[in-house]
């Protein structure tokens, strides 16, 4: 029996909105917006932009930031059932996130365990927050992603596995191009249509369960 592997984004996918943006809106001095715009205009990489934004925040905010996210992050409907369904079917669920460990890990804690969680990490030992990049781009990616989703997929790659990518944004696009099937919303949905990728749209994780069920039937 062929296998399925699911690679799922975190911000804007598992959570309904982007946690880095929410943190910056709430805690950062106004210059974070300029950095965000430079990223959106592709003047600087995501990695450089995220690093610069967090370097605006003092390290002693750590507890406040984590509390803020735990109180405000809204999990998309059906996620627990989705995680349970995949576990029951022995389908590995890899979380691949451009978010940061200090909020990704506590938010996900009660829904796991997952096959693996890949995200950026953080150093609160200096005056300002420093972001660390344990999953940087391999030699085949030149996007300076920060947490490089296509590199992670290549590392875990297995010819027999039907790779499913779930995501919402352009930050998932390179991963989506490498996938056998994409489950998309928002900008990633538009891009998937434009590029004729094999895809379905989703609004909740109940939708994702239905898609995986269909793929699973075909593969058996
Ligand atoms: Mg996202
Ligand atoms: Zn990359």
Q: What is the pLDDT of residues 204-218, one digit of tens each?
A: 999 999 999 999 887
Closest ligand to C-alpha of residue 21 is: 1
* Buried/exposed code over 45-66 (b: 16+ C-beta within 10 A; e: otherwise): bbbebbbbbbebbeeebeeebb
| Ion ligand 2: residue ranges with CB closer than 5 A | 137, 141, 143, 145, 148
Ligand at shortest distance from the CA of 184: 1
- So what's the pLDDT on residue 10? 98
Contacts of 154 by beta carbon, 8 Å cutoff, 6+ apart:
138, 140, 178
CB 83, CB 93: distance < 8 Å: yes
Residue 195 has pLDDT above 60, yes or no: yes
CA of 98 to the centre of ligand 2 (A): 11
Which of the ligands is closest to the CA of residue 45? 2
Tell me how far the alpha carbon of residue 73 lies from the centroid of ligand 1, in angstroms.
13
CA of 60 to the centre of ligand 2 (A): 30
Q: What percent of the chain has pLDDT over 90?
A: 88
Nearest ligand (C-alpha, residue 76): 1
Among 208, 200, 209, residue whose Cα is nearest residue 181: 200
Q: 2 CA distance to ligand 1 centroid (A)?
A: 28
Instruction: Give the distance (Å) from ligand 2 centre to CA of residue 53.
Output: 19
CA gap 160, 131 in Å, rounded: 35
Distance CA 105, CA 123 (A): 15
pLDDT digits (tens, 9 = 90+) for 131-179: 999 999 999 998 888 999 999 999 987 888 999 999 999 889 999 999 9
Q: Which of 10-14, 21-25, 40-44 has the lowest mean pLDDT?
A: 40-44
Residue 15 sits at φ, ψ, to 5 deg, of -95, 150
**Ligand 1 center to 1 CA (angstroms):** 31
Q: What average pLDDT score do residues 92-100 get?
A: 97
Residue 21's closest CA among 53, 60, 62, 58? 53
Of the bound ligands, which one is closest to the alpha carbon of residue 139? Answer: 2
């Amino acid at each position: 029996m062929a296998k399925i592997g699911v690679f799922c984004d975190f911000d804007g996918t598992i959570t309904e909105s982007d946690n880095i943006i929410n943190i910056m809106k709430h805690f950062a001095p106004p210059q974070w917006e300029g950095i965000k715009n430079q990223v959106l205009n592709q003047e600087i990489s995501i990695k450089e932009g995220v690093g610069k934004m967090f370097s605006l925040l003092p390290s002693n905010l750590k507890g406040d930031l984590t509390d803020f996210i735990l109180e405000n992050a809204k999990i998309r409907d059906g996620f627990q059932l989705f995680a349970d369904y995949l576990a029951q079917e022995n389908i590995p669920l890899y979380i691949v996130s451009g978010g940061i460990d200090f909020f990704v890990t506590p938010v996900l804690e009660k829904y796991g365990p997952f096959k693996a969680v890949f995200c950026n990490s953080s150093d609160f030992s200096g005056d300002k927050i420093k972001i660390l990049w344990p999953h940087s781009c391999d030699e085949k990616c030149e996007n300076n992603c920060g947490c490089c989703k296509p590199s992670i997929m290549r590392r875990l790659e297995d010819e027999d596995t039907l790779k499913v990518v779930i995501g919402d944004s352009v930050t998932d696009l390179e991963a989506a191009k490498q996938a056998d099937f994409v489950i998309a919303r928002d900008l990633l949905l538009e891009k998937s249509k434009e590029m004729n990728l094999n895809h379905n749209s989703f609004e909740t994780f109940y939708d994702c369960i239905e898609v995986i069920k269909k793929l699973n039937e075909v593969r058996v």
